[in-house]
Amino acid sequence: MKTVGAVIFAQNNSSIDYVKLAIFAATRIKTFLNIPVSIITDSSEWMLKSYPKESKIFDQIIKIENVSTYNQKRFNDGTLSSKFLEWKNLARNSVYDLTPYDRTLVIDSDYIINSTALANPLNSEHTFQIYKDCFSLSSWRGTTEFTRINQYSIPFYWATTFIFEKTLEVKYFFTVVEYIKNNWQYFRTLYSIEVPTFRNDFAFSIAIHLMNAKTSGMFAQELPGKMFYISDRDLLISLDDIKMKFLIEKENYLGEYTAVSLNNTDVHIMNKLSLSRFIDGGLGV
């Protein structure tokens, strides 16, 4: 019988406790999908010391090396605050070998499960499923930057959330992702990507393109619906069972927001600092 479970990557930096986010995300997976969850982290000893009770939510704690990437990224916290922090994002291609499950849901620690939308895909016959289309809770901001990896290039896929089964073809896919990562400057030039820093979204998009023999192939099946998200310039302010409330940046009004609520929908909360404050018991603002 095939085993099914979820894994969450959590690699802390100086200001963001990804382990805390992962524990919260795991509770949501348990509530809505009722599957075991494992954590992949370079902070296992720290986690067991800081969260001895909460860590028990994980089926397994999978240790990876704490390797400094020197990748720096601007993390916005709403419209008026930001900081440059280390961004550890180089282990995703190893998930095929790291996962203890035959069929695995992979999510970022800031992807909050708030529905049973992924239950059917977990039981699907498709071996690799991923989000392609997306929806921003900001009505004015649009999703153009997440349609293609550049204006004239290949379709954009989200490495934030995906489901895969251990097959030889899927193993090849992750081998291709690793090759792209190790030769990032070449592929970045080849696909005219302006962002210098390696991103899993781009690597996955390129790898899917190659697995499809550079055509509109069928390797990657789209997950149902769209990837809902808020920008890191927006704020999470509450989450009550299945209802989430946000403050969404207003266009051309710096520091002003519009209140938006959403029910029974999974959401990628890019503002990790706001999510962290909410988990601590305070408002996200």
Average pLDDT for 130-150? 92
> Dihedrals φ, ψ of 104, to 5°?
-130, 135
- In which band, very low, low, confident or very high, does the pLDDT at 241 lie, cut at 50, 70 and 90? confident
Average pLDDT for 153-174? 97
Name the pairing type of β-strands 103-107 and 4-10.
parallel
Give residue 70's pLDDT. 63
The pLDDT of residue 16 is above 80: yes
Poorest-pLDDT segment among 29-43, 91-105, 212-226, 242-256: 212-226
Burial environment of residue 24 by CB neighbours within 10 A (0 to 12, 13 to 18, 19 or more): buried
CA–CA separation, 188 vs 202, rounded Å? Answer: 9
Give residue 68's pLDDT. 64
CA–CA separation, 262 vs 243, rounded Å? Answer: 6
Q: What is the radius of gyration, based on Cα positions, of the chain?
A: 18
The pLDDT of residue 112 is above 50: yes
pLDDT digits (tens, 9 = 90+) for 39-87: 999 989 999 999 999 999 999 999 998 766 667 888 889 998 888 878 7
Check: CB of residue 109 under 8 Å from CB of residue 8.
yes
Higher per-residue confidence, 200 vs 14 = 200
Q: What is the mean pLDDT of the chain?
A: 92
CA–CA separation, 185 vs 279, rounded Å? Answer: 37
Give residue 285's pLDDT. 46
Q: What percent of the chain has pLDDT over 90?
A: 78
CA–CA separation, 155 vs 202, rounded Å? Answer: 10
CA–CA separation, 184 vs 178, rounded Å? Answer: 10
